[in-house]
């Protein structure tokens, strides 16, 4: 029988993992037990909706065995089993579609450990075994198959005998080395320790035949060996244990194992309610965004249990999109096990739970914001965008819930919440000022931004595309409206008067510039502030530069969307004199005006219409 090869990329990963990634080789047992438990879950779940599946809940179990003579450790389950195709597909390749792309992307940038993020659990068997034999029979199938591999040279799949449905995994344990005593993994006390440490909460009994000795009845010094089958795990799910009983470490370990993540969660949330609908929930806020989080492939959801039995692996109704990053479980005794029946009632209960959770998650995030700013900022970097989208896509109806969670980079340094900003507002200040663009650094240098700051007003920097859209849905915060610095007039009456005078004095010039620029601008005015730049662009009306930028990038006909631009010319700048000098020469004035307008766009970080023309104009004017 010819061996099938692992896919090339799987092979590399396999080597990587066997040799380096998991330093704790002992976790192989946890991985295999989790898979066994999942397989039983799947079968049980199927039995709820498929009448042809007849199983007894009390029969479901995971069996372990260790044999020092054959040097094997066996993990057996009576779960759903695998067909021949499933054996090949599930165990023949490590990388599943999405993960490969992720790996390549990350290989270029940084060394992200993807092993923890994806399903490679089964392969951890090769850390302790030099050969793995998997016997599996899918539920309802008549044939069983044997998958076998040494982890390096590929694998074989052949028919075999197996009476019952489920999967049996036989690990042929490696010979001991100077550094590693693999033999320990065949000791029943060691196996017991590992189960209690890593798999205690598994809801099916994990049983093992354990050999013991006892004094022979009626005898003082004669001993006999006997075997008892013991259940090694307590089967109490972690969320059912009292809060004091579970350490942070245990929560973290549970999260990492259950949700295949390498990092500790940034926040653990436990909540339970007794009422019309009672439930326990154990939720986690991940420390970083999954690679597909901001794509449509990402599926939000929580695991839903009914009295300790998994009924939905990913129940999306329990989470609003804007909290879609939250992972975790909800266990309720009020849910009907038969999901197809009583659908409506079920739905209403789910909604009640979802509403509670929404409030709970919000208040926990608020606490984090209040008590650990640094951690919160890290959280916000990853998931802040989702919160803002939440405000935008719900048309502001979730504003009250979410606005307190927003933070923005501020001209005061660091970040500011809207409440902090409002507290610091000057008495004379009418608006919450913001500047919108790609980077904080660039925004802080914008002429309009500088003039607002010069008045002593704080400016929030909106560097996320969604920021302005979210704000537009909020309309105001604490009675104060938001205002883009590009659309702000912070000049004092005195300054306005001066500007007006300048405008009158130089009316012909401004008119002439407007004339040569045509409908590229809606007006040309003098600058009312002492900006260091020769020009400054402002917008008039609803559409801001940021919106223009976003639309041009997304919509195919987006380039047609243009903000209404006011070109302001700095009358203090030496260039202004130059303009006056060429005022009579319409052609030259036109060239100056076009260069100035493009400069304004460049300062804003906007593309210019014709870079070639711009460059040749600059060259022409420079060489004069
Ligand atoms: P993961 O469990 O993270 O998906 P694994 O490499 O551990 O990754 O397993 C790959 C797949 O093989 C599983 O998703 C499951 O479909 C299948 N599998 C593994 N162990 C079993 C088992 N004991 N019974 C049935 N299917 C299994």
Q: 339 and 464 in one domain?
A: no
Report the domain count for the chain: 4
Where residue 539 sits, what CATH number does that domain have? 1.20.120.790
Whether residue 3 lies inside any domain: the answer is: no
Query: Are 345 and 218 found together in one domain?
Result: no
**Cβ neighbours around 434 below 10 Å, total:** 27
Domain identity same for 215 and 263: no
Ligand 1, pocket-test mutation among 38, 91, 133, 144, most atoms within 8 A of CB:
38
Note the pLDDT tens digit of each residue in 396-434: 899 999 999 999 999 999 999 999 999 999 988 999 999
Which ligand 1 atom is the nearest neighbour of the CA of 94?
6
By most ligand atoms within 8 Å of CB, the mutation choice from 40, 61, 119, 165 for ligand 1 is 119
* Shortest-distance Cα residue to atom 17 of ligand 1: 90
Mutate to test the pocket of ligand 1, among 36, 61, 122, 262 (most ligand atoms within 8 A of CB): 122
Say if CB 463 and CB 413 are below 8 A apart: no
Reduced to 3 states (helix: H, G, I; strand: E, B; else coil), residue 478 is coil
Residues whose CB is less than 8 angstroms from the CB of residue 429 and which lie 6 or more positions away in sequence, other chains included: 457, 480
What CATH number does the domain containing 464 carry?
A: 3.40.50.11260
pLDDT over 50 at 95, yes or no: no
Q: Are residue 223 and residue 276 in the same domain, yes or no?
A: no
pLDDT in tens, 297-354: 899 999 988 777 667 778 999 999 999 999 999 998 877 554 443 454 567 888 999 9
Residue 514 lies in a domain: yes
pLDDT of residue 386: 95
- Provide the strand spans (E) within 161-306: 166-173, 206-215, 223-231, 267-273, 279-285, 302-306
How far is Cα 20 from Cα 158, in angstroms, rounded to an integer?
A: 31
Q: Which of 231, 253, 271 lies at the terminal end of a domain, its last residue?
A: 231
Pair (254, 223) in one structural domain: no
Written as six digits, the tokens of 386 are 């989702």
Do 470 and 537 lie in one domain? The reply is no
Confidence (pTM)? 0.65
Question: Which phi and psi angles does 166 have, rounded to 5°?
Answer: 125, -170
Nearest CA to ligand 1 atom 19: 35
Residue 166 CA: nearest ligand 1 atom is 24
In a domain, 78, yes or no: yes
Closest ligand 1 atom, residue 120 Cα: 6
DSSP annotation of 566 reads E
182 with 266, same domain?
no
**Greater confidence, 380 or 307?**
380
> Does residue 127 fall inside a structural domain?
yes
Query: Which residue puts its alpha carbon closest to atom 18 of ligand 1?
Result: 35
Atom nearest to 75 CA in ligand 1: 23
pLDDT the model gives residue 268 = 97
Output the residue whose Cα is nearest ligand 1's atom 4.
119
Residue 182 CA to ligand 1 centre (angstroms): 24
| Ligand 1 center to 126 CA (angstroms) | 15
Report the run of H or E that residue 564 belongs to, with start and end. Answer: strand 564-569
What pLDDT does 542 receive?
80
- Final residue belonging to a domain, choices 373, 394, 426: 373
Q: Which of 331, 357, 373 is the last residue of a domain?
A: 373
User: How many Å lie between the centroid of ligand 1 and the Cα of residue 101?
Assistant: 21
Please check whether residues 435 and 461 belong to one and the same domain.
yes
Distances (CA, A) of 173 to 3, 72, 132, 254, 373: 21, 6, 9, 27, 48
Residue 192 sits in a domain of what CATH number? 3.30.565.10
Q: Which residue out of 76, 90, 314 has the highest number of ligand 1 atoms within 8 Å of its CB and is therefore the one to mutate?
A: 90
> What's 321's domain CATH number?
3.30.230.80
pLDDT in tens, 499-556: 788 888 888 899 999 998 998 999 998 875 555 778 888 888 888 887 787 777 776 6
Q: Of all atoms in ligand 1, which is nearest to the CA of residue 121?
A: 7
Task: Answer yes or no: is 139 within a domain.
Answer: yes
215 and 243 both lie in a single domain: no
* Selected residue with higher pLDDT from 104 and 455: 455
Q: Output the ligand 1 site: residues, CB below 6 A.
A: 31, 35-36, 39, 77, 79-82, 90-91, 119-123, 167, 260
- CA 113 – ligand 1 centroid, Å: 20
Token look-up 């040569």 returns 516
Q: Reply yes or no on whether the pLDDT at 252 is more than 60.
A: yes
pLDDT of 97 reads: 33
pLDDT exceeds 80 at position 594? yes
Q: Decide if 438 contacts 398 (C-beta within 8 A).
A: no
CA 35 / ligand 1 centre spacing (Å): 5
Give the residues across from 526 on adjacent strands: 569
Query: Is there a single domain that holds both residue 172 and residue 63?
Result: yes
Give the pLDDT of residue 342: 42
The verdict on residue 180 lying in a domain is: yes
Residues 279 and 345 in one domain: yes
DSSP string, 375-422: HHHHHHHHHHHHHHHHHHHTTTTTHHHHGGG-EEEBTTSSEEEHHHHH
Q: What is the tens place of the pLDDT at every residue in 253-285?
A: 889 878 888 899 999 999 998 877 889 999 999
**Shared-domain flag, residues 259 and 344:** yes
Which residue range is the domain that position 346 belongs to?
A: 238-373
Which pLDDT score is estimated for 437? 85
Cα(90) to ligand 1 centroid in Å equals: 6
Q: What is the DSSP string of 311-346?
A: EEEEEGGGS-GGGTT-EEEEEETTS-S-SSTTHHHH
From the CA of 4, how far away is ligand 1's center (Å)? Answer: 19
User: Of all atoms in ligand 1, which is nearest to the CA of residue 123?
Assistant: 6
Q: Which of 25-29, 68-72, 308-312, 582-586 has the lowest mean pLDDT?
A: 308-312
Interval between CA 531 and ligand 1 midpoint (Å): 64
Least confident span in 226-230, 574-578, 603-607: 603-607
């Amino acid at each position: 029988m010819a061996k099938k090869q692992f896919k090339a990329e799987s092979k590399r990963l396999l080597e990587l993992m066997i040799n380096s990634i998991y330093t704790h080789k002992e976790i192989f047992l946890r991985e295999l037990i989790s898979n066994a438990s999942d397989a039983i879950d799947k079968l049980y779940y199927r039995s709820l909706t498929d009448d042809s599946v007849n199983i007894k809940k009390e029969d479901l179990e995971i069996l372990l065995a260790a044999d020092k003579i054959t040097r094997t450790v066996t993990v057996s389950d009576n779960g759903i089993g695998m067909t021949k195709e499933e054996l090949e597909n599930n165990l023949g390749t490590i990388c599943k579609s999405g993960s490969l792309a992720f790996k390549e992307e990350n290989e270029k940038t940084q060394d992200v450990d993807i092993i923890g993020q994806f399903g490679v659990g089964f392969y951890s068997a090769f850390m302790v075994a030099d050969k793995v034999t998997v016997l599996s029979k899918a539920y309802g199938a008549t044939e069983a198959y044997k998958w076998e591999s040494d982890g390096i040279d590929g694998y074989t799949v052949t028919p075999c005998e197996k009476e019952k449905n489920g999967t049996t995994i036989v690990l042929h344990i490696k010979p001991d080395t100077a550094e590693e005593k693999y033999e320990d993994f065949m000791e029943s006390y060691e196996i017991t320790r590992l189960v209690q440490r890593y798999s205690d909460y598994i809801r099916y009994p994990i049983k093992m035949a354990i050999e013991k000795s006892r004094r022979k009845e009626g005898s003082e010094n004669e001993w006999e060996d006997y075997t008892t089958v013991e259940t090694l795990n307590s089967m109490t799910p972690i969320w059912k244990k009292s809060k004091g009983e579970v350490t942070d470490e245990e929560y973290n370990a549970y999260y990492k194992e259950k949700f295949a993540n390498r990092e500790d969660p940034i926040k653990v949330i436990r909540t339970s309610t007794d009422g019309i609908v009672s439930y326990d929930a154990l939720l986690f806020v991940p420390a970083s965004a999954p690679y597909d989080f901001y794509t449509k492939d990402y599926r939000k959801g929580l695991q839903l249990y009914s009295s300790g039995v998994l009924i939905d692996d990913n129940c999306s109704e329990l989470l609003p999109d804007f909290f879609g990053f939250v992972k975790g479980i909800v266990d309720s005794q009020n849910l009907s096990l038969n999901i197809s029946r009583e659908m409506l009632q079920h739905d209403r209960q789910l909604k009640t739970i979802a509403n509670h959770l929404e409030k709970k998650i919000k208040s926990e995030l608020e606490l984090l914001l209040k008590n650990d700013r640094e951690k919160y900022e890290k959280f916000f970097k990853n998931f802040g965008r989702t919160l803002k989208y939440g405000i935008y896509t719900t048309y502001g109806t979730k504003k009250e819930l979410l606005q307190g969670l927003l933070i923005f980079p501020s001209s005061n340094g660091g970040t500011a919440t809207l409440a902090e900003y409002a507290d610091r507002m000057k008495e004379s200040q009418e608006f919450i000022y913001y500047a919108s663009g790609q980077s904080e650094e660039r925004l802080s240098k914008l002429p309009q931004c500088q003039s607002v700051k010069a008045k002593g007003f704080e400016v929030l920097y909106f560097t996320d595309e969604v920021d302005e859209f979210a704000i537009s849905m909020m309309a105001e915060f604490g009675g104060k409206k938001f205002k883009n610095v590009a659309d702000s007039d912070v000049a004092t009456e005195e300054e306005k008067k001066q500007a007006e005078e300048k405008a009158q004095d130089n009316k012909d010039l401004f008119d002439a510039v407007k004339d040569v620029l045509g409908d590229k601008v809606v007006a040309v005015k003098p600058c009312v502030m002492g900006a260091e730049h020769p020009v400054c662009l402002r917008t008039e009306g609803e559409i801001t530069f940021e919106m223009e930028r976003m639309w041009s990038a997304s919509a195919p006909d987006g380039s047609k969307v243009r903000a209404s631009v006011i070109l302001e010319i700095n009358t203090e700048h030496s260039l202004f004199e130059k303009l006056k000098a060429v005022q009579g020469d319409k052609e030259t004035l036109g060239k100056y005006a076009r260069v100035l307008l493009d400069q304004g766009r460049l300062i804003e970080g906007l593309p210019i219409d014709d870079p070639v023309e711009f460059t040749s104009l600059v060259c022409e004017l420079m060489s004069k």
